[in-house]
């Protein structure tokens, strides 16, 4: 296993899932940040082809982190709510697990609720130490917090459609593209093989990023044993129906509740066939599921395990034989804690 740091040295644009036509639309919205794991996987895959002339190298992404300055971070769990405090700082508090009165949803018995109306979930990132405290079940009551997303600036730049046949501009077909500018931001990925440090092309416009060895291994460890299991997704995952995560893990217990962010539609373009890929609706990073188990387990044995619908993975491969399984691309990375 080896860790690598990918640092953008230019602005980036990540294509969104919504079809865009310069004839009808004015703004080409991006996928947003963070990009889908497949963006990072594809960039690394192209490095094998360009540097090693070996496009068939088999590898997988084991973990993905985000570095802001010197801080190693993960997507903020949906149970950690924010409100604006003094001096441009924010405060974090954890949503309370509350038993529902009457039937609200037939698959859950509890809800995660805020006891103060001005606390809301806003997607951002949290440093690894605070994240580990969250997994250990620590209470967050008005913990001072400075959002990391301030290091990422969204902007729009003009573009113009080109004719496929001649590559000349198509007069009058102007539009705006959403891009991102970064201030001391990097991706940290763990791979199951060693690769050469080099420049790679990242994002929808193939902008340049530097990839280099990251010397310090990153591990999520809680040191706890529990029968109250929290499952957190660090990267998007996909299931055709309500996921039975305990069955995948070989555990028995009861689902208490879940907190899912805004679903993400992820597809892509298959170069081999020249057609768009099948689009799936993914559970986003930061989402959590809470279970009461029949017996206690040591959760650190599970850290970093990938939870994803195997049938969808098989369906994906049946259409795109040269593509890697979604789990190999870094989808479905989960970490485990208590509550």
pLDDT at 23: 45
Query: What is the reported pLDDT for 53?
Result: 67
**Residue 46 host element (H or E):** helix 37-47
pLDDT at residue 40, rounded to an integer: 95
pLDDT of residue 2: 93
Pairing of strands 90-94, 71-75: unpaired
- pLDDT, position 55: 65
Domain range annotation of the chain = 2-337
Task: Provide the β-strand partners of residue 209.
Answer: 8, 200
**286: region left, alpha or beta (phi > 0 left; psi from -120 to 50 alpha):** left
H-run or E-run covering 157:
strand 152-162
pTM above 0.85, yes or no: yes
How many Cβ atoms are within 10 Å of 86's Cβ, its own excluded?
Answer: 7
135, 178, 183: which is closest to 158 by C-alpha? 178
In order along its 339 residues, the chain shows pLDDT tens digits of: 799 999 999 888 786 655 555 445 566 666 789 999 999 999 998 887 776 666 677 899 999 999 999 999 999 999 999 998 766 678 999 999 998 876 555 678 899 988 787 899 999 999 999 999 999 999 998 898 989 989 999 888 776 656 555 555 555 566 677 788 999 999 999 999 988 778 898 987 788 999 999 989 999 999 999 999 999 999 999 998 889 999 999 999 999 999 999 999 888 766 666 777 788 999 999 999 999 999 999 999 999 999 999 999 999 888 877 688 999 999 999 999 999
pLDDT at 22: 41
d(CA 85, CA 32): 26
């Amino acid at each position: 296993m080896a860790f690598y740091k990918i640092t953008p040295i230019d602005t980036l644009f990540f294509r969104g899932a919504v079809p865009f036509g310069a004839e009808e639309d004015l703004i080409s919205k991006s996928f947003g940040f963070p990009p889908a794991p497949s963006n990072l996987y594809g960039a690394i895959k192209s490095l094998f082809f360009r540097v090693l002339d070996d496009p068939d190298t088999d590898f997988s992404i084991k973990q993905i982190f985000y570095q802001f300055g010197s801080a190693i971070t993960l997507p903020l769990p949906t149970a950690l709510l924010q409100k604006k405090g003094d001096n441009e700082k924010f405060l974090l508090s954890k949503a309370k697990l509350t038993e529902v009165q009457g039937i609200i949803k037939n698959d859950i018995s509890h809800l995660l609720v805020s006891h103060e109306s001005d606390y809301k979930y806003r997607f951002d990132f949290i440093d690894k130490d605070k994240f580990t405290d969250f997994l250990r079940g620590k209470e967050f009551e008005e913990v001072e917090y400075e959002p990391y997303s301030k290091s990422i600036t969204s902007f729009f730049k003009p573009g113009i459609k080109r004719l496929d046949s001649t590559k000349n501009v198509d007069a009058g077909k102007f539009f705006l593209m959403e891009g991102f500018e970064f201030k001391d931001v990097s991706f940290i990925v763990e791979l199951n093989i060693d690769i050469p440090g080099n420049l790679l092309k990242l994002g929808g416009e193939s902008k340049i990023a530097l990839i280099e060895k990251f010397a310090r291994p990153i591990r999520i460890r809680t040191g706890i044993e529990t029968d109250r299991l929290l499952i957190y997704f660090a990267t998007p995952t996909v299931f055709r129906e309500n996921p039975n995560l305990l069955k995948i893990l070989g555990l028995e217990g009861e689902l208490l509740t879940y907190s899912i962010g805004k679903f993400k539609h992820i597809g892509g373009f298959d170069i081999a066939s020249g057609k768009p890929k099948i689009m799936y609706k993914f559970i986003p990073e930061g989402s959590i599921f809470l279970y009461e188990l029949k017996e206690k387990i040591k959760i650190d044995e599970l850290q970093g395990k990938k939870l994803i619908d195997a049938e969808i993975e098989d369906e994906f491969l049946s259409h795109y034989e040269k593509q890697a399984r979604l789990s190999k691309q870094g989808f479905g990375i989960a970490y485990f804690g208590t509550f």
